[in-house]
Structure 1
Amino acid sequence: MPVQVVQVSPRVLKDSLPKSLREVGLQSLQLGRDYAEAYFQGTVVIFSQLTTLGNGTPFFKIVLQESENSSSTTTTINTLVFGKLAEDCAELIQQGDIVVVAGFGLAESVSGDSRHCCHLEASDEAGSTLYICPRSSSSQKASEIVAMHVAPKYSYTPLNELKGDTVVNLYGAVKFFKPPYVCKGTDYCSVVTIVDQSNTKLTCTLFHADRDTLPQIYRNGDIVRFHRLKILMLQMEKKLAVREFGGQMQGITSAGFAALTFDGTIGAPVIPRTSSKVFTFTDEDKKTVEDLRVWVESNLSNSAPAAKLFDIQPPMFFQLTCQVVGKAKVDGSSYLLKVWDGTKCPFPSWKVFVQEDDLEGDGNLIHQLRNLTVDILLYDNHVQLAKSLKVGSIIRLYSLHVKIYNSEEKPDVSYLQFHLHGGTGYGRGFTVLSESHTDAVELKAFLDTVDLTSNEHSEPSFPEFDTTYIPLGSRVDRFQQLSVTVLTDHQHLDVTALSTIINSRHPQQYRVRAKLRRFEPVKLHQSVKLHCPQCNCLQEVPDWPEVDLIIQETSASCSDPKLQSISFCESVVWDTENQGQRHVATHFVKHAEQTQKPENSLILLEGGMVKEMLKLSKRFKGIIPVRSTEGSLVLLDLSAPFFWQGNTQYYGCKHCSKPKTVSNLSFIAALKNPPWDPTTIAQALGIVLLQYVFLMKFILDDGTGSLDVYLMDCQNFFQIPASEVLTSNIFQEIMERIMQKLCPMGKNLDQLPWLECFIKSYYVKDETEEKLCYRIFDTAIAEDV
């Protein structure tokens, strides 16, 4: 097992380790040595959240403090854990645990902190093993250690006794919550505000890659139990954070976070809702839940009104518990749900037109229930979750908006519309109730009693509404003017007119709805630039003749034409044909003393030109152009690409990079499966990697004013990588088609499609003045554009 939990006291921990391992301390660590049969022991003082690197590898960072060597001036060291080993560690490690890292690698640290100048690296591929001695064990005598199957004893902290920078276990009643929603990246997020008998409030922002791991909250008043919740102290000067979270304390998920949720109703079964199959729950826990239920009954009200379809009074926002009988995609930013709750809406309601083949569900049942169902449109961030819904599910929608729509063409015709708007403001969202939940059981039982025959033969009172044929005008709602863009975050912001933004001189964020009057550059491939994430400089992507010239000039400055001897490479020299005796040295990086297959191997190319690198990069995993100096190989001038992989070339920032010799790649080559990706190589060689970005200027117009807005984005807006546009005709055609859809030629302003996007204003200084600029963020092209 790569991760092993050792339930012994620290004094006998060493006796539990394999006898073949030798201990090393901080003072004896040296670069270049083999630590495959060695171990380092330390106490966990800091650990990060589990993250994912650019190549998809899980990553976890631990700071270990040397347990016994107190004479050293440096007592802590960074430990970087990769792969499955990182995932396992993140679930087990807590602050104060004693950790033994065996079979590690050692590399020079680039963090710039006050810790050891090197860092430890551990991964399954390197054959590393981590032994974890929990802090609960460290306070026990060896004779007191009990069997693993005995439930551990947890202590719970009242909300009024929380302290910053601690990891705690706690109970609370839900006062407000946002159902899990997709945030940036691949994680889900849920915001929960809890209170307890101390009348102290705590807002928790919870993240996890698995939606089911987040607390399964169905209503205000539910009881939650959180294990391993990290408490942060917010700074008062961060006004936005204080306004968002309502106080100084904030809870966030930490490694090993786990949640149980209970119905907050007195007398309901005390059955926890959780996706975990292993958890502890004692009689004392049951009493805590029941005590909180009694307190909730008299101290916490459910502020969100729940309603049945038959008693709604528009306009209103309400909770609706219902069953899904059909669903369909409408466009890239909206999704249709056909639902019923067994009662009949007292007003005519809209019916969204979709093609019959696009509608999921039992067609006969949908037709049979046509007078009992209502159509709900969900927007933006709710679309992805709606796609995963199963027809027949019992769901609860929060902050569902119902309003009356009056037709401009037929003033005497009015009907209801149901919207779940984008964003998570006011707890907006929906959740799927478990089959065993009381409300789900009661609703299903009620639906079974509904007489469908009488409703099936009654005359339909609902007008058919076709979203594709409503004329665009100044007063129609968003569902009638579908946007060609999708908002990926911050949907709680309200739309601001461009005239208001133009007259505001304070940098801030806005949500706008406008049309793209024109854009620059017209030649779209010219929009691709190189951007440094550290110094924010922008530069043009060199063309091939320019790159060839840089390589020629750099190679001509070589001081040592002899073939270098590199311990982790096999090297050969070959002469070019018809090019005046130009010598090219190829250094094949070995792994485990053997050369890998070409498609998995890296080569260092000395004296090669562009055409040779393009040819070789199609066959090998990657190419690094180098030149010889006295005793070592170094990179070329960073004006040229430092790494070639497939059709993509990677550049480094000349201002921020501190290039190292190629010998620093040796520790990567020593790994079982070397990750020859641009990020790993750049870190090893001291390179700050430049990003390919789209840089464009959009001239937006919403009828109240016109505004120049910049787009600088890697791939999120267009949903295509900027690096590929330069070399792929397919991606160039896709981008041209997108821009033709956003800003079709020969159309007047009224005929242009709507763009809904976020922009932020900021000041840019030059030598004479400050200029207010605007930039698009957290916006993407809709799927069907």
Structure 2
Amino acid sequence: MPLQMLKGSARVQKNSLPSDLQKVDFEHLQLGSDYASKYLQGTVVISHPLTRLGNGTSFFKVVLQESENSYSRTGTINILVFGKLAEDCDSVVHQGDIMMVTGFSLAKSTSEDDRHCCQLEVSEEAGSTIYICTRSSRATTSSETVAVPVAPKYTYTPLNHLKAGTVVNLYGAVKFFKPPYVCKGTDYCSVITIVDQSNAKLICSLFNSNRNALPEIYKNGDIVRFHRIKVREFNGQLQGITSCGFAALTFDGTIGAPMVPRTSSKLFTFTDEDKRTVEDLRLWVASNLLNTAPAAKLSDIQPPVFFELTCQLVGKAKVDGSSYLLKVWDGTKCPFPSWKLLVKEDDLEGDSILIRHLKNLTVDIVVYDNHVQLARSLKVGSFIRMYNLHAKPQSPEGRSDISYMQFHLHSGTGYGRGITVLPESHTDVKELKAFLDSVDMTDSECSERTSSPELEHTYIPLGSCLERCQQLSVTVLTDHQHFDETALGTIMNSRIPQPYRIRAKLTRFEPKKLHQSVKLHCPQCNLMQEVPDGAELDSIMREASATRSDSDLLSTSFCESVVWGTENQEQRRIAVHFVKHDELLQEPEVSLILIEGGTLKEILKLSKKFKGIIPVRSAEDELTLLDLSAPFFWQGNLQYYGCKHCSYPKAVSSLSSLAAREDPSWEPTAISQALGVVPLQHVFVMKFTLDDGTGTLDVYLMDCKKFFQIPASEVLINNLFQEKMERIMNKLCPPGKNFGELPWLECFIKSYYVRDGSEEQLCYQIFDTMIAEDI
């Protein structure tokens, strides 16, 4: 039977399983392995309600936790049950039951959670069997017992006992942190330094595609509990990084604060022993760890200063693609006249009546670059905390007799710079809300009527000042924002290769025909070559197809092959090899074909129907790739080329391993690896002439997609991308404009030497810079 109920001791339960089955641990599960003679065992910690899929199939989801190694990095795993077996499980499976599963298939997890990276899929049709040792309140006889699971026992490692290469559980107090920010990929990153009573410290770099899955830390001194964090050695120092199954709890580090953990996980354990550990750490923090980031009220500001501000957001507005305006208040009044950014009323989000009412108590804060995405997502009315906020005095242009206060959250994450949204249950929020409710608005309004209009607020229209906060850049810096700006004149006098942050104007660029900027580049040997145009590509393919032999058709075990004759006077014959999966041909839109003897026109015609095409030729007793002057792979209108110097092409039979996969995707990366080809990248290669008034510098741009936010491979085949690129360059370097009318570009450039024969030339290249969103 596909579902069996077991009773008795653990030994009796195990003997109820077929004798040839062997238990497999969670951490040893790997995609592609054979588990026909294995079984998996764990405790049911979550059982979801029975549902039906779109096709009517019954579906039941269970989360299992490994009983013996509950603290390991593989922790818990999702079990997906389908069909009648799902209906049977729904009526008998409950939290706390012991479940053993056989005849399962293993797939990559589709859930965005902190569980095992694989999931089990079971059904009666697949021959699966589920054994349940039920947790029951029914009386049992002396000869039979029911297994009752207990909360897993976790072991925690002191920070001074950590070793590289281990996965551990630990507690610590936060000494420094950076709020989650978008790193270079799609993940969010949070950097946290923790300490404990051993006076050791650990710097943790935590990554997750879900921002909410990272630890919710609001201030230094918070207490964290990390489960399944990997320890490695980096630059001679131990470092903690996320591993499979990583999970975190965070607690307020203040003595007497509620013992309520902050976490996005719906399943966690927290025992009396954990409570004692947090209390002990709170006591230690109170006497050993000082909050070094000064928190201040607006009324306490003494510029210039970097400080931490807890406040309520009452309005926000987009300034441009690289900066955003936040109007905030904390119930106190800044003692200095404040700078107000002049924006259109229609662009300001928030209650306009309330904003006018609080005009005398709000301050305008401009956030830049990497903080814009989070600022845009903030809800008006929410309570936020800003870290490393900069307050500085500034005099209006031409006026030295008065000054006003500016507030900026600069680029980057240096010194923990960032923004965090505080929940309304947070102690600091409760205190702030109570204080805001007590503010006497009548006194505020009277103060506003009696104060000097000239000194109270200074409204600054965009573009009225040469500082970055007023004259905005058409580019965005994506990293290293802590770098100071360097004048081009200074860079030109330096012969030492190094990175710089610059602010300049684009006065000239090459090539003028923008499609000519797309080249092919090898990331290994730095080979650079032109992309063949249609005529060249046709000539290459015709030359290759002319080598097609009319001898016996070569085929492979994983292909089904046919020969077609052409309908024109050439009387050519084309061999087409259809790659099979599970001995069956796939639908054209998801299938791969190998073509022998095809011309450019014929391949382009077939590429509209099939997922991918690989041009091949017969060589002795096997099929091989064409010369790498031709593309090794076609997908739609895109051609993929390989590097002649770095590639070591293999026979086409190497694709058999891909064809045997459960779900062959036929993507360029997998195909190039299987065939031993190092793919060339489509890149933009341009020369910019930049001028900042102190000097003129030729700087090269070599970028695949990041700078223009356009894939270089698509520009040659997509007219919309070509038009977008032309619009961008007309904005960066508008024709017919004088120097004063050109926009500013803020860029990172790096200098490097290039050897030309016996001489070395110093060159410059743009990096970690992209075009602003709204350009």
* Smaller-chain TM-score bracket: 0.7 to 0.9
Corresponding position of 1:775 = 765
Q: Secondary structure at the match of 2:743?
A: coil
Equivalent pair of 2:221/2:253 in contact (CA under 8 Å): yes
* TM-fit CA distance, 1:501: 2.6
* TM-fit CA distance, 1:395: 0.6
Mapped to 2, the partners of 1:686 and 1:17 lie a distance apart of: 46
Kindly tell me: are residues 146 and 638 of structure 1, through their superposed partners in 2, closer, same or farther at Cα, counting changes over 3 Å? farther
Kindly tell me: are residues 225 and 518 of structure 1, through their superposed partners in 2, closer, same or farther at Cα, counting changes over 3 Å? same
* TM-fit CA distance, 1:707: 2.3
Corresponding position of 2:231 = 231
Kindly tell me: are residues 162 and 147 of structure 1, through their superposed partners in 2, closer, same or farther at Cα, counting changes over 3 Å? farther
Bigger drift between 683-692 and 497-506 goes to 497-506
Equivalent pair of 1:176/1:220 in contact (CA under 8 Å): yes
Equivalent pair of 2:338/2:458 in contact (CA under 8 Å): no
Corresponding position of 1:516 = 506
Mapped to 2, the partners of 1:759 and 1:284 lie a distance apart of: 53
Write out aligned runs for 1:465-480 (5 A).
Answer: 465-470=459-464, 476-480=466-470
Corresponding position of 2:77 = none
One-letter amino acid matched to 1:84: S
Mapped to 1, the partners of 2:296 and 2:443 lie a distance apart of: 24
Corresponding position of 1:290 = 279
One-letter amino acid matched to 1:209: S
Corresponding position of 1:350 = 339
Kindly tell me: are residues 501 and 175 of structure 1, through their superposed partners in 2, closer, same or farther at Cα, counting changes over 3 Å? same
Equivalent pair of 1:353/1:464 in contact (CA under 8 Å): no
Corresponding position of 1:614 = 604
Kindly tell me: are residues 632 and 560 of structure 1, through their superposed partners in 2, closer, same or farther at Cα, counting changes over 3 Å? farther
Which of 555, 558, 575 in structure 2 is aligned with 1:585? 575
Deviations 1:315-340 (A, max 9, x none): 21111100111112110100111111
Corresponding position of 1:697 = 687
Mapped to 2, the partners of 1:146 and 1:529 lie a distance apart of: 69
Residue-pair matches, total? 682
One-letter amino acid matched to 1:468: L
Corresponding position of 1:120 = none
Q: Secondary structure at the match of 1:479?
A: coil
Equivalent pair of 1:550/1:637 in contact (CA under 8 Å): no
Equivalent pair of 1:181/1:188 in contact (CA under 8 Å): yes
* TM-fit CA distance, 1:209: 1.2
1:668 and 2:652 are equivalent in the alignment: no
* TM-fit CA distance, 1:477: 1.3
Corresponding position of 2:57 = none
* TM-fit CA distance, 1:442: 0.9
Mapped to 2, the partners of 1:548 and 1:493 lie a distance apart of: 49
Equivalent pair of 2:314/2:327 in contact (CA under 8 Å): yes
Mapped to 1, the partners of 2:320 and 2:555 lie a distance apart of: 60
Kindly tell me: are residues 37 and 303 of structure 1, through their superposed partners in 2, closer, same or farther at Cα, counting changes over 3 Å? closer
Write out aligned runs for 1:701-780 (5 A).
Answer: 701-780=691-770
Equivalent pair of 1:551/1:636 in contact (CA under 8 Å): no
Kindly tell me: are residues 673 and 773 of structure 1, through their superposed partners in 2, closer, same or farther at Cα, counting changes over 3 Å? same
* TM-fit CA distance, 1:18: 7.9
* TM-fit CA distance, 1:763: 2.9
Mapped to 1, the partners of 2:107 and 2:501 lie a distance apart of: 39
Which of 469, 487, 495 in structure 2 is aligned with 1:505? 495
1:259 and 2:245 are equivalent in the alignment: no
Equivalent pair of 2:337/2:458 in contact (CA under 8 Å): no
One-letter amino acid matched to 1:258: A
Corresponding position of 1:196 = 196
Mapped to 2, the partners of 1:342 and 1:465 lie a distance apart of: 22
Mapped to 2, the partners of 1:552 and 1:82 lie a distance apart of: 43
Corresponding position of 2:523 = 533
Bigger drift between 655-664 and 559-568 goes to 559-568
1:84 and 2:109 are equivalent in the alignment: yes
Equivalent pair of 1:560/1:628 in contact (CA under 8 Å): no
Write out aligned runs for 1:18-37 (5 A).
Answer: none
Corresponding position of 1:371 = 360
Kindly tell me: are residues 437 and 317 of structure 1, through their superposed partners in 2, closer, same or farther at Cα, counting changes over 3 Å? same
One-letter amino acid matched to 2:115: E
Q: Secondary structure at the match of 1:689?
A: coil
Mapped to 2, the partners of 1:175 and 1:648 lie a distance apart of: 51
* TM-fit CA distance, 1:36: 8.6
Kindly tell me: are residues 763 and 661 of structure 1, through their superposed partners in 2, closer, same or farther at Cα, counting changes over 3 Å? same
Equivalent pair of 2:205/2:239 in contact (CA under 8 Å): yes
Mapped to 1, the partners of 2:150 and 2:293 lie a distance apart of: 42
Equivalent pair of 2:628/2:642 in contact (CA under 8 Å): yes
Mapped to 2, the partners of 1:249 and 1:469 lie a distance apart of: 48
One-letter amino acid matched to 2:506: L
Q: Secondary structure at the match of 2:773?
A: coil
Mapped to 1, the partners of 2:703 and 2:17 lie a distance apart of: 50
Q: Which runs of 5+ in 2 are unaligned?
A: 1-8, 25-31, 41-68, 75-105, 131-144
Deviations 1:227-266 (A, max 9, x none): 2222222335xxxxxxxxxxx2222222222111111111
Mapped to 1, the partners of 2:569 and 2:514 lie a distance apart of: 36
Q: Which runs of 5+ in 1 are unaligned?
A: 1-8, 25-32, 50-80, 94-98, 104-122, 132-144, 237-247
* TM-fit CA distance, 1:304: 1.4
Mapped to 1, the partners of 2:686 and 2:148 lie a distance apart of: 60
Kindly tell me: are residues 284 and 20 of structure 1, through their superposed partners in 2, closer, same or farther at Cα, counting changes over 3 Å? closer
Write out aligned runs for 1:608-647 (5 A).
Answer: 608-647=598-637
1:160 and 2:149 are equivalent in the alignment: no
Mapped to 2, the partners of 1:224 and 1:503 lie a distance apart of: 49
1:654 and 2:648 are equivalent in the alignment: no
Equivalent pair of 2:309/2:387 in contact (CA under 8 Å): yes
Equivalent pair of 1:559/1:629 in contact (CA under 8 Å): no
Equivalent pair of 1:37/1:102 in contact (CA under 8 Å): no
Corresponding position of 2:214 = 214
Kindly tell me: are residues 362 and 555 of structure 1, through their superposed partners in 2, closer, same or farther at Cα, counting changes over 3 Å? same
Kindly tell me: are residues 571 and 148 of structure 1, through their superposed partners in 2, closer, same or farther at Cα, counting changes over 3 Å? farther
One-letter amino acid matched to 2:633: F
Deviations 1:4-57 (A, max 9, x none): xxxxx9999998988898999xxxxxxxx996957799xx9xx999xxxxxxxx
Corresponding position of 1:136 = none
Q: Secondary structure at the match of 2:486?
A: coil
Q: Secondary structure at the match of 1:381?
A: helix
One-letter amino acid matched to 1:734: K
Equivalent pair of 2:168/2:230 in contact (CA under 8 Å): yes
1:180 and 2:180 are equivalent in the alignment: yes
**Aligned Cα RMSD in Å?**
3.6
* TM-fit CA distance, 1:729: 1.6
Q: Secondary structure at the match of 1:747?
A: coil
Mapped to 2, the partners of 1:128 and 1:186 lie a distance apart of: 39
* TM-fit CA distance, 1:600: 2.2
Deviations 1:524-564 (A, max 9, x none): 11111111222222111111222222222223334564333
Q: Secondary structure at the match of 1:616?
A: helix
Kindly tell me: are residues 676 and 15 of structure 1, through their superposed partners in 2, closer, same or farther at Cα, counting changes over 3 Å? farther
Which structure is larger by alpha-carbon Rg, 1 or 2?
2
Equivalent pair of 1:643/1:650 in contact (CA under 8 Å): yes
Equivalent pair of 1:485/1:780 in contact (CA under 8 Å): yes
Corresponding position of 1:299 = 288
Deviations 1:182-231 (A, max 9, x none): 11111111111122222222221111111122111111111112222222
Q: Secondary structure at the match of 2:310?
A: strand
Equivalent pair of 1:186/1:209 in contact (CA under 8 Å): yes
Corresponding position of 1:317 = 306
Corresponding position of 2:438 = 449
Write out aligned runs for 1:12-91 (5 A).
Answer: 83-84=108-109, 91=115
Mapped to 2, the partners of 1:11 and 1:609 lie a distance apart of: 68
**TM-score, length of structure 1 as denominator length:** 0.80
Corresponding position of 2:140 = none
Mapped to 2, the partners of 1:665 and 1:225 lie a distance apart of: 46
Kindly tell me: are residues 678 and 128 of structure 1, through their superposed partners in 2, closer, same or farther at Cα, counting changes over 3 Å? farther
One-letter amino acid matched to 2:619: T
